[in-house]
Structure 1
C-alpha cells in the first residue's frame, strides 16, 4: 500500500468507516420496527445463542459481553434495559455466587427470532451488491476481525 493516499476514496479505513456507517443506518432503521437498538439486538441474539449452547442455562453477563465483543459496562446497561422490557431475566448462578445467569423470557425469544429475520434481510440486501464476491468478502472480514 502506498504511504500516501491521493484521495479519501482510496483510504481503506475511510471506506470501511463509510460502509460500516451505511450498514448501521440500514440496520437501525429496520430494527425500529421491533423497537430495538442495534446493540440491544446483538445482546439479545448473543444471549439466546449462548443459552442454546449451555445445557445448564448458566450464561453470565460477562460471557455475553465477551461473545458479542461489547464492553462489559455497556453490556450491563443494555441487559438491564432488556430486563426492564421483560425480554430477559436474571437468576442466581449455579456455581458463581457473584454472577447472575441471564435467560430470555418467552417474549424475548420471540422478539429475538423476529429481529433476527429482520437483520438477515438487511444483511442480504446490503451484501447482495457483492454478487459472487460475497464469499471473498466474508473471508476477508474474518481475517480483519482476528487479533
Structure 2
C-alpha cells in the first residue's frame, strides 16, 4: 500500500498542516488551539442560553475534564470567563463568558473560519467533506 492510499496517513498529514495554520491564525489572539476551542464552545453554549459547568463544557468540546479545568483557569486568568458558584449546587462552578471573552471569541472564530475556508478550499466538494467528517468526529450526519 502506498501512503497516498492510506486514509489514516493522509488524515495525519492533513491534520498537521491544518493545525500549523490554526496555530498561526490564533497567535495574534494569544490563544492556544485548545484555549480557542473551549472559549468558542463556551461562546456557542452562551449564545444558546446555556450556562455550563466545566463538565458540560468538556463534553461539548470533547476534551479531557482535568485538562479542561486547567485551561479554564488560564482563560479566567486572561479575563475571558468567570467561574461562579452554582446556586443549586455550591460544589459546582458555572462558567460565564465575559464581555472581553465574547469579543475575543467572536473575532477568533471569524479568523479561524477564514483560515478553515482557505485550507479546505482544496477539497473539491465541501458538503461531501463535512458529511464524511461528521461520523468520524462523533457527530450526526
Q: Give the TM-score normalised by structure 1.
A: 0.89
The answer for the alignment partner of 1:81 in structure 2 is 74
Residue 130 of structure 1 and its aligned partner are, at CA, apart by 1.6
The answer for the alignment partner of 1:145 in structure 2 is 137
The answer for the alignment partner of 1:9 in structure 2 is 4
How many residues matched?
A: 139
Residue 52 of structure 1 and its aligned partner are, at CA, apart by 2.1
2:59 aligned with 1:69: no
Return the index of the structure with the highest Cα Rg. Answer: 1
How many angstroms apart in 2 are the aligned matches of 1:35 and 1:87?
12
How many angstroms apart in 1 are the aligned matches of 2:137 and 2:81?
29
Runs of 4+ with deviation above 2 angstroms: none
Residue 145 of structure 1 and its aligned partner are, at CA, apart by 2.1
For residues 73-97 of structure 1, the C-alpha deviation after alignment (integer angstroms, 9 at most, x for no partner) is 1101111000001111011113222
How many angstroms apart in 2 are the aligned matches of 1:128 and 1:94?
47
Supply the RMSD in Å over aligned alpha carbons: 1.3
Give the secondary structure class of the aligned counterpart of 1:130: coil
Pick from 65, 69, 84: which aligns with 1:91? 84
2:26 aligned with 1:31: yes
For residues 33-65 of structure 1, the C-alpha deviation after alignment (integer angstroms, 9 at most, x for no partner) is 1111110000001111112223xx531010000
